[in-house]
A = this chain, B = another copy of it.
Amino acid sequence: MKNHRQVFQNEQKNRGRLLITCPDQPGIVAAVSQFLSNHEANIIESSQYSTNPEGGDFFMRIEFECPDLESKKSVLREEFDTIAQTFSMEWQLFFVKELKRAAIFVSKELHCLRELLLEWESGDLMADIPLVISNHPDAKDFVESFGIPFVHVPANKNTRQEAEQQQLELLEEYDIDVIILARYMQILTPAFVEAYSEKIINIHHSFLPAFVGAKPYDRAFERGVKIIGATSHYVTNDLDEGPIIEQDVKRVNHRDQVEDLKKNGKIIERSVLVRAVKWHIDDRIIVHENKTIVF
């Protein structure tokens, strides 16, 4: 809890992460690593990917340890900007001790919420979670037992506008970086989605692109599949069509009725969502042309 996070923040106070996207060409790695070396930063982990070495796109994630990082934050940003311009880079620089602030949206199914909060409490999910919003009051006691504010914002097709208005104000008030839809059963408006582009993580209870939309387990049962799945993705305005972050599956058989598929599905839904959220808060994901690169 607080302790885990404080210990982590102290341990990681000199740890930074750099995410880069640019056209591929020779010399990128040399330039970036020379820049880090100039600041006495030691590269801890480095991953890269090219869609095509000859004229494709280049993606890179570097995690580094830099003595006295706190005092160098602005100078690093300034200096790196010059390199970035040379190579036409889009880039992000993260300081690991500055934890992401996540809001969880939930409805009546609580298994994903529970998994997230238990992982958070045990120190395995290193974010701040200052807010849980639900369109049902069911989770109130559970959430508050972790010392986290719970806000009941009733929402349905007819009240969507007002509900989202209230949600957006809460997200602003709590300074939220990332929204986790933990089986939140409402569709979000395009305006809302755009306001948090590539920052809303959903869990869909099927192996996308199979069973896009409502009642995937009923349709999986109907089709007689032998394996069910769950998919975590960033939310876009095409329903269940956003960039896939993670998927997993579980074997079923002819004995499993719809209810059994749902029970079995819960186990993968929660683990898939937690993995996706961890990769997001560890700055491991770059979105490119509706796909994810997960380093």
CA gap between A50 and B253 in the complex, in Å: 13
List, in ascending order, chain B residues with CB within 8 A of A28's CB.
Answer: 43
> Are A263 and B124 in touch, CB under 8 angstroms?
yes
List, in ascending order, chain B residues with CB within 8 A of A53's CB.
Answer: 42, 44, 65
- Looking at A78-86, A153-161, A224-232, the stretch in contact with chain B turns out to be A224-232
Interface centre among A47, A118, A209 (most CB of B within 10 A): A209
The contact of A29 among B27, B29, B226, B249, by CB within 8 Å, is B29
> Are B44 and A37 in touch, CB under 8 angstroms?
no
Is A95 located at the chain interface by the 8 A CB criterion?
Answer: no
CA gap between A43 and B267 in the complex, in Å: 30
Is A73 located at the chain interface by the 8 A CB criterion?
Answer: no
Is A72 located at the chain interface by the 8 A CB criterion?
Answer: no
Total interface residues on A, using CB and 8 Å?
Answer: 59
A37-B30, A247-B225 are contacts. A253–B294 as well, Cβ < 8 Å? yes
- Looking at A128-136, A164-172, A175-183, A285-293, the stretch in contact with chain B turns out to be A285-293
| Chain B min CB distance to A294 (Å) | 6
> Are A26 and B40 in touch, CB under 8 angstroms?
yes
Is A248 located at the chain interface by the 8 A CB criterion?
Answer: yes
Copies in the complex: 4
Supply 7 further A-B pairs (C-beta < 8 A) apart from A29-B46, A45-B48, A224-B244: A25-B42, A28-B43, A45-B49, A49-B254, A111-B122, A145-B145, A226-B247
> Are B224 and A243 in touch, CB under 8 angstroms?
yes
Interface centre among A33, A46, A224 (most CB of B within 10 A): A224
Is A211 located at the chain interface by the 8 A CB criterion?
Answer: yes
List, in ascending order, chain B residues with CB within 8 A of A255's CB.
Answer: 49
Q: Please list the 5 inter-chain residue pairs (A to B) with the smallest Cβ-Cβ separation, ordered nearest first.
A: A224-B291, A30-B33, A30-B37, A210-B210, A29-B33
A27 to chain B: closest residue by CB: B37
List, in ascending order, chain B residues with CB within 8 A of A40's CB.
Answer: 26
A110 to chain B: closest residue by CB: B122
A67 to chain B: closest residue by CB: B26
Is A69 located at the chain interface by the 8 A CB criterion?
Answer: no
| Chain B min CB distance to A155 (Å) | 24
CA gap between A45 and B257 in the complex, in Å: 14
CA gap between A255 and B253 in the complex, in Å: 18
CA gap between A263 and B40 in the complex, in Å: 32
CA gap between A207 and B41 in the complex, in Å: 40
| Chain B min CB distance to A201 (Å) | 14
